[in-house]
């Protein structure tokens, strides 16, 4: 009995669903953090920065995929780890863009210091998103590599 066989069933599904819920929560957090800046720029009739739009679109994709993965049959889709890997790469790009801007930024007494501090914090939420999608990509890859395939009609024969 391998590692995967030991943890099949409802316990595995609830653990998977809980992990996807955490990913969903992190992605919604990024939508809120970056969406605040997009909203304030839109209300001030300023042009919207493409980097912020990219971050919100990436978070939106992560939200949709995390919601789709909450459906129990999503584990049966072949190569689902490829989708997780693509989302991981998108999050790494977001982290690189905003990390380059805000990690070294000084939070002083300027009028925008609260925004700068919020964006410094959001960079670490981006990294948490990237790491969570990397872990899920690795986990789903291991799952698909080690699962036992059964016959189509009876399910008794190992193929």
Q: Quick check: is 44 in a domain?
A: yes
Task: Give the closest residue to 119 by CA, choosing from 72, 25, 52.
Answer: 52
Query: Is the distance from CB of 132 to CB of 59 less than 8 angstroms?
Result: no
CA atoms of 150 and 130, how far apart (whole Å):
34
Domains identified in the chain, total number = 1
24 inside domain: yes
Residue 97 token pair: 């863009």
- The tens digit of pLDDT for each residue in 4-57 reads 555 566 777 788 889 999 999 999 999 999 999 888 888 888 888 889 999 999
- Long-range CB contacts (< 8 A, 24+ apart) of 113-121? 115/37, 118/33, 118/36, 119/33, 119/37, 121/33
Quick check: is 33 in a domain? Answer: yes
Residue 156, domain member (yes or no): no
CB 65 within 8 A of CB 82: no
**Look-up: residue for tokens 């790494």?**
92
In a domain, 155, yes or no: no
Q: Could you read off the pLDDT of 59-110 as tens digits, one per residue? A: 999 999 999 988 876 666 777 889 999 999 999 999 999 999 988 887 777 6
Question: What is the domain extent for residue 35?
Answer: 3-150
Encoded tokens for 101: 């801007």
Q: Does residue 43 belong to any structural domain of this protein? A: yes
Residue 68 lies inside a defined structural domain of this protein: yes
């Amino acid at each position: 009995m391998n590692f995967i066989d030991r943890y099949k069933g409802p316990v595995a599904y609830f653990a998977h669903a809980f992990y996807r819920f955490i990913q969903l929560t992190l992605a919604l957090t990024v939508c809120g953090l970056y969406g605040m800046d997009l909203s304030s720029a839109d209300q001030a009739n300023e042009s919207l920065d493409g980097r912020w739009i990219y971050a919100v679109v990436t978070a939106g994709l992560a939200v949709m995929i995390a919601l789709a993965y909450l459906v129990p049959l999503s584990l049966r889709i072949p190569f689902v780890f490829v989708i997780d890997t693509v989302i991981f790469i998108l999050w790494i790009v977001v982290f690189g863009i905003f990390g380059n801007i805000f990690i070294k930024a000084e939070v002083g007494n300027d009028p925008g210091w609260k925004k700068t501090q919020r964006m410094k914090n959001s960079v670490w939420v981006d990294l948490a998103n990237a790491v969570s999608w990397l872990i899920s990509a690795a986990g789903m890859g291991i799952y698909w590599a080690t699962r036992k395939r059964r016959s189509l009609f009876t399910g008794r024969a190992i193929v």
